[in-house]
A and B are shown apart, each in its own frame.
Chain A
Amino acid sequence: MNELKRRIVQAAVLVLSVSLAFSMAPASDREFNQIAQHLETQFRYRTTGGPLLPLASFLAGFTRPAGLRRFKLAVFEDPVSPGWREEGHLGEVVRDALGPGWHPLVRQQSRRTGDQTLIFARPAGDGQEVMIVEVHPTDAIVLQVSLDPQQFARYLMRPDEMGRAVTKDLE
């Protein structure tokens, strides 16, 4: 009976620890994950990451192009339904996922090509944190990146090309 009690307590402690670990995940991770989880329902992603997150790359700390402090990247490929196109719904998903500190910078949408780009930013320390969501008919990316202020200022001169410029710099 004592053994049973001990096991129950152990199980309870384990469940509590796991719950706490998840609830204590940084807000920025939750925001990123929420957007990624939405895209996960639309794509059969290819990833080398674990099964919990659709992260094709989690390279923070490994590669650091000038001005880019850290980043999280999820790449999605192979849409579940052929001819899939993300419509206005994506904007709502991203806005709902992001907290009040984020403000929209760019929203681009092409009905001709099916491409859509959403870029939000928020101050982070002395720099800026930028969330880039790019959706194309055959693939999509979610990229959360911390930029030093000089690099952010440079990207800002052409905000409509920011998504492309940041991803190119990461290559």
Chain B
Amino acid sequence: MKNLRSFYNKFKIKDLLYFVLILPISITLISNGACADKLEKSNTIIQEMISKAKVNAIETLKSDQNEKSLRISLLIKEYINLNFMAKATTGSFWKKATFLQRQRYKNALLQEIVKTVEDHLNTLSTLNYISTDSELRGKKLIYVRGRIEDPNNNKPPVNLLWKLASNNEGNLQILDLEIEGISLVSSHKAETMTILRKNKGDFEVLLDKYNKKK
């Protein structure tokens, strides 16, 4: 007993015990707090983007097409990780593309997203977006679930799943959007990869197809 007491006092076991017990608890609390913070921020970003899109729709009602497209482009560049989407939709062919081809592809992707948003902007301004929940997935990914509802009940609600992650600058950006289970990245990837595989990875053929569409 005497030996045990002297052992305890000598090695400051009491302090060590505090350290062993309190440190993991503190780390867990801090990281949970950080996670909750990140989830909250993701929800805020989605809400913010949708609000800005609605405001844009109202402010550009009487503007010309170029100005509308420009404002939507700026919004998309701020909230969507185009670099990631370009890589995700071209698979292993991305590495073989030249710098110029990559830039042109990213531009083509941007134009496609701008056109989609323009087509639905007027409808979007009459609908309500409701955030339902958010979830941390692995080390970097965040899932944010939401729903678009028609206040007049003319259209059925549409379930959305946003996938976000921090970019190189540490800002959260959208990587993908699933609308009723349909992933925009997966759909686009299926199309792009089919074209690239049939043309032996020739990016010029893919870019030509996008140019012809215009």
State yes or no: do A and B come from one complex: no
Interface of B toward A, CB cutoff 8 Å: none
